[in-house]
Structure 1
Amino acid sequence: MNSVRYPLAALVCWLAFARTLTPILRHRRREPAVVALCASFGCQGMYLAMSAPAHWTGSLFGTVTWYNVSVQMWIIAVIACQQVLLIHWLYPADAARARARRAVAVIACVPVAMAVLFQLATTHGHPHNSFAHPGEQPYFVAYEVVYLTAFALGKAVVARACWFYAGRTEDTWVRRGLRTAAVGAGLDLVYSLGRFADVFLVHLGWDPSLWANTTRTSLTLGMALNTIGWTAPLWGQRLDSLRAWCADFRSYRRLRPLWYALHRAHPETSLHTDPRGDLSALWDLRFALHRRVIEIRDGCLALRVHQTSGPAPAPPPDSTERERAAWEAAGIAAALAAESGGARAADHVVPIAAPAAVAAPDRADGLAVTGQAGDPGSGAAGGPASDTAGDPAPGIASGRATSPGDLDFSSDVRWLVQVSRAFAALPERERRTPAG
């Protein structure tokens, strides 16, 4: 397990190290907090890389025992870097520098004490990790106590500070990152508790071999979560952008059935006359999505048809948005069918659903858009729709969102997607459109 677990976690740390090192090398003025963060990633990467099986790297450092000491020194370096980072986050620059120097001076005593205690332990024989009789190697027990106490205190401070300040930041990704780092530091505490049990509870029946995998896994996972949490503000915004792009592309594709039907009926409303594919939208998706919404609106405004003799009744005020979308789609399909049959322009109307929060139920009936693409007053020509049949109510043909309060572009897209999906669900004969 270690041959896979430690190298993978080390890779995560080294990637984070490289990511944070780039802005440090690029700018002359180096922020102490960023430098400390970068150094903590590098130290974690060194610890995890050196924690791989001893036959990989042990020959570079002499005896295995001193090699293990050098590995644990990197953990103390990680704690020092994280303390410096937190200090620079919490205090003004001048006060932070003084506090950081004091913190580093105190933490520096830990590796010195570890080295002295381990050297004393070697004078009483070769130190070993079996603590069935702790009195046989008192200096090595003291060494473990110093190391594990420093480790536990450092991680507890990091976990508490990260969780505390996560609730006081308004930045979403900073909050998520701090909480992730706090969880990682909490998992690291499992390692220190397990090691304390290995030292002091073996003579009471504790079996270290049963928990070794758990403690090492918690340490590795905790360090990986620390790294992910500290770097979350760096990559979180890009993840949001990617998610928004995917959502826009899904909406763009789902608008196609309605857009294509209107395009066939009135191709003059489309900026691009080739509707064969959507791959061209990938180059400038946001622009393409705006164009598709505008062309759908203009296509509806270009439908100079009148209400048929038996229109479907408008949905009641308490109807769901899906029901209103289905009614809207059915009205568009009826208008397209009437136009394909050669009906006179003044004889039909595109139904415009008025939401309950905006208009009374009976206001939806009889409202018309009489403008044609290219005519004065037509939405396709950039002017307002004619209101000869009354004041325009919210709806597709009026160029506004139907759902109450949906006045922004994202809400408008969501509404049009529902109408387009309802339109695509209609039988083929109901949504057949003429080629313009």
Structure 2
Amino acid sequence: MSESASNVVYLAIALIDFVIAGWKCLALLRDRTTTLSLITVNFVASGLVFAMAAPAGYRMLGQLTGVAGFATLPVYLGILTCFSLLHVLTMLWDPRLRQRPAVLRRRVTVWSAAYVAAPAVMVAAFCSADLSGPADPLTFNTDFADEPEIQVFLGIFLATLACATLSTYRRCRTLRPEGARFRRALRSFGTAMLFVFGYVVCSVPAIVLAASGNHALDTVGVLGSTFGSIGALITSYGLSGAAVGAWLRERRDIRALQPLWDLVVAGVDEELAFSVDSARSHRLAWNVGFNLHRRVIEILDGMRALRPWVSPLPAAAVHAAHERETARGAADAPGRSERELQAAATAAALRDAAQRLQAARRAATQRGHAGRPQPPAGPPVALPGEDTPASGERGRLLRVAQALTDPLVATALRDVRIQRSADETADVAGTAETDEGAATDEAAATGEAARTAATAGAAEAAEAAERQ
């Protein structure tokens, strides 16, 4: 790798590490755990290492200290710091060691002591070496390989790095964590250790040959830095890939829940929202987990507020429409699981309840009684899936949000409207028939009264005639 290419690659990796370190710091403020603290420190140290190891940073540090190759010391100490932290981190991840706290503490203490002692010897050897003259950041190892103190410095560095990377790789291979995403991240983490060990494999023969005055393998030693860079990138993914994936899924879920939020929160009562910015919270790039949890809570509150307006008809219509689809055996009819059918029933019930609420509000406004309309009489109707555990609410609401535009829901709501229209027509007809019957009975009663009166009048006239 040329010097200009090294500047671009190293500084780009440093920027990535600093960005991830800042992100981890925000997470650390919310969840202060030992493992998250180690990961954060690791990314900070890694960013500093690549910033100083870049030829531009390397030469700048040399000019500031007056020793051309001085940057090699903090760079190599930073590398050991990173990989010693990673080794300790995998021990803390090991569920078997966590079950034996005494063994875990002993192993962490022993390895930590070794990782502190090695840099101490390296500092003493480096400071006692003669580093006069210019230094090339990419060929320092082979340029000063003939110095006994640098040989000790490099020997301890490479031996400690080899122990850290191989031990971490072995532990990553034996760990059996729960969760497929974490297992994939751990596998990539172990792969990164092999790439970093490739730096050791390339550097050792080049240094040994250079110590004897032969620089034929100097290019191989420079190639080792490429393996180290690749390993660092894979390590960054291994430590943050699962978290980045979770962040992206949370952002996606916030956007997916937006139509449901608009229906049961914005369309029902804006006071249910956590703040005036709730409608735009899906645009935020930070604190995504909090925004998602807030959105789920707001939607559940909105569903509870709509419950007095929920009717059993839409859910029943969804099941009836699904049975008709199944009976027809339509080739284009999508197969639905029980959970998807439940989500469709919930979506239909919520859309219908929101429509009934809005209609009641319009009617109340026309009557001059704007405000909260009186909900329909009768016992409240439970929404499908109300017994879902809290851990499953996010998935259920996502299915409901997706089902809002399902053709099955539209068909069910159309059937409900037809049924209600028919019921209203029947009620009107029944009322008219009742009124007509009442009018007929009244006329009959009037005629009977007239006949009775006429009969009585005739009888009175006959009696008068007889008296005369």
TM-score category (smaller protein): 0.5 to 0.7
Partner of 2:228: 219
Q: Deviations over 1:233-281 (max 9, x none)?
A: 666544332221223347889xx9xxxxxxxxxxxxx859xxxxxx996
**Closer, same or farther: CA 75–19 of 1 in aligned 2, 3 Å:** same
Partner of 1:48: 50
Match of 2:111 among 98, 103, 107: 103
Partner of 2:130: 122
Q: Which amino acid aligns with 1:156?
A: L
The answer as to whether partners of 2:118 and 2:157 remain within 8 angstroms in 1 is yes
The separation in 2 between residues aligned to 1:320 and 1:137, in whole angstroms, is: 82
The separation in 1 between residues aligned to 2:396 and 2:81, in whole angstroms, is: 51
**How far has the Cα of 1:232 moved from its partner?**
5.3
Partner of 1:404: none
Partner of 2:82: 78
Match of 2:194 among 186, 189, 198: 186
Partner of 2:174: 164
The separation in 2 between residues aligned to 1:164 and 1:244, in whole angstroms, is: 34
Partner of 1:59: 63
**Closer, same or farther: CA 33–94 of 1 in aligned 2, 3 Å:** farther
The separation in 2 between residues aligned to 1:218 and 1:38, in whole angstroms, is: 23
**How far has the Cα of 1:318 moved from its partner?**
9.1
**How far has the Cα of 1:51 moved from its partner?**
1.1
Aligned to 2:158, what secondary structure does the other structure show? Answer: helix
Task: Please report the TM-score for the alignment, with normalisation by the length of structure 1.
Answer: 0.55
**How far has the Cα of 1:154 moved from its partner?**
0.8
The answer as to whether partners of 1:58 and 1:67 remain within 8 angstroms in 2 is yes
**Closer, same or farther: CA 382–12 of 1 in aligned 2, 3 Å:** farther
The separation in 1 between residues aligned to 2:189 and 2:205, in whole angstroms, is: 25
The separation in 2 between residues aligned to 1:81 and 1:354, in whole angstroms, is: 47
The answer as to whether partners of 2:185 and 2:242 remain within 8 angstroms in 1 is yes
**How far has the Cα of 1:47 moved from its partner?**
1.3
Matches within 5 A, 1:13-412: 13-21=17-25, 32-52=34-54, 53=56, 54-89=58-93, 90-91=97-98, 92-118=100-126, 122=130, 129=139, 136-137=146-147, 140-165=150-175, 167-170=176-179, 174-200=182-208, 206=217, 208=219, 212=222, 215-231=224-240, 237-249=246-258, 301=313, 315=325, 319=329, 322-323=332-333, 410-411=398-399
- Structure with more contact order per residue of length (Cα contacts < 8 Å, sep ≥ 6): 1
Q: Deviations over 1:10-36 (max 9, x none)?
A: 233334444555677789xx7554443
Q: Which amino acid aligns with 1:99?
A: R
**Closer, same or farther: CA 409–70 of 1 in aligned 2, 3 Å:** closer
The answer as to whether partners of 1:301 and 1:373 remain within 8 angstroms in 2 is no
Q: Tell whether 2:430 aligns with 1:419.
A: no
Matches within 5 A, 1:4-15: 4-15=8-19
**Closer, same or farther: CA 322–241 of 1 in aligned 2, 3 Å:** farther
**Closer, same or farther: CA 318–189 of 1 in aligned 2, 3 Å:** farther
**Closer, same or farther: CA 127–108 of 1 in aligned 2, 3 Å:** farther
The answer as to whether partners of 1:121 and 1:137 remain within 8 angstroms in 2 is yes
Structure 2 runs not aligned, ≥5 long: 270-276, 282-293, 318-322, 342-354, 358-375, 386-394, 412-468
**How far has the Cα of 1:84 moved from its partner?**
3.1
Q: Which amino acid aligns with 1:49?
A: A
The separation in 1 between residues aligned to 2:102 and 2:146, in whole angstroms, is: 49
Aligned to 1:188, what secondary structure does the other structure show? Answer: helix
The separation in 1 between residues aligned to 2:151 and 2:167, in whole angstroms, is: 24
The answer as to whether partners of 1:197 and 1:206 remain within 8 angstroms in 2 is yes
Aligned to 1:323, what secondary structure does the other structure show? Answer: coil
**How far has the Cα of 1:42 moved from its partner?**
2.9
The separation in 2 between residues aligned to 1:322 and 1:247, in whole angstroms, is: 25
Q: Deviations over 1:77-106 (max 9, x none)?
A: 223323333334434555444332321222
The separation in 1 between residues aligned to 2:49 and 2:299, in whole angstroms, is: 49
Task: Please report the TM-score for the alignment, with normalisation by the length of structure 2.
Answer: 0.52
**How far has the Cα of 1:190 moved from its partner?**
2.7
The separation in 1 between residues aligned to 2:311 and 2:279, in whole angstroms, is: 20
CA-atom RMSD, angstroms?
5.6
Q: Percent identity?
A: 18
The separation in 2 between residues aligned to 1:190 and 1:58, in whole angstroms, is: 27
Greater percentage in helix: 2
The answer as to whether partners of 1:400 and 1:412 remain within 8 angstroms in 2 is no
**How far has the Cα of 1:72 moved from its partner?**
0.7
**Closer, same or farther: CA 317–16 of 1 in aligned 2, 3 Å:** same
The separation in 1 between residues aligned to 2:239 and 2:178, in whole angstroms, is: 14
The answer as to whether partners of 1:173 and 1:237 remain within 8 angstroms in 2 is no
Q: Which amino acid aligns with 2:407?
A: V
The answer as to whether partners of 2:38 and 2:89 remain within 8 angstroms in 1 is yes
Aligned length: 332
Q: Which amino acid aligns with 2:219?
A: P
**Closer, same or farther: CA 246–119 of 1 in aligned 2, 3 Å:** same
**Closer, same or farther: CA 252–42 of 1 in aligned 2, 3 Å:** closer
Q: Deviations over 1:156-211 (max 9, x none)?
A: 2223323432x3224x55444433433333332232223234335785954617x8
The answer as to whether partners of 2:142 and 2:218 remain within 8 angstroms in 1 is no
